[in-house]
Amino acid sequence: MDFIRDGLHGNGAARLGNSRWRRLTELRAGSAKSVFHFDCQGSVAKSTHAGLPWLRFIRQRCGGSVHFWPFDGWEIPAGRSVLVEAYPALCMARWPAENRDGDQHAAFSVAAWLRSADVDGSLPSYFTPPIVPKERKQAEIEGWILGAL
């Protein structure tokens, strides 16, 4: 990742922890917060930074059997599991919360949305978001939220 910090790809200086900086996908998703926005309502920064070592662990343990989308490419090879970034706010309003707390409903909503999109055949379209080539290159470095337009 030194090529980002050194400015060889993208604007590395903008990624030095400013809580107002947001990735392109966060801008497109609307209300998504920066991964540098700590200690506030709806903050995901602690969870994001705590989860990064687990992603590395999965990569080391599972190797090529897991596809980290879009970092490993926009198309997922057959026979691989896929790991994506989800943003529950994109789909939570589709299902009633019933007796679930906020975190439970967020997890339920993402799972229900993925199942529904798989059943109705629309899931593959989410893996090719409508972004121009320059944005696509940027997202290959920054990542992309599945379902963000």
Give the closest residue to 22 by CA, choosing from 10, 34, 30.
34
Ordered DSSP codes for 81-128:
EEE-B--GGGTGGGS--TT--HHHHHHHHHHHHHHHHHHTT-HHHHTS
- Domain annotation covers residue 147: no
Structure tokens belonging to residue 41: 């309502």
* Average pLDDT taken over every residue of the chain: 87
- Domain annotation covers residue 135: yes
What number is the average pLDDT over the span 14-24?
72
SS3 138: helix
- Domain annotation covers residue 148: no
- Domain annotation covers residue 113: yes
CB 32 within 8 A of CB 26: yes
User: The pTM is what?
Assistant: 0.83
- Domain annotation covers residue 57: yes
Give the closest residue to 58 by CA, choosing from 75, 42, 39, 82.
82
- Tally of structural domains, the chain: 1
Per-residue pLDDT of 94-143, as tens digits, reads 999 999 999 999 999 999 999 999 999 999 999 999 999 999 999 999 99
Please give the residue range of the domain that contains residue 46. Answer: 2-142
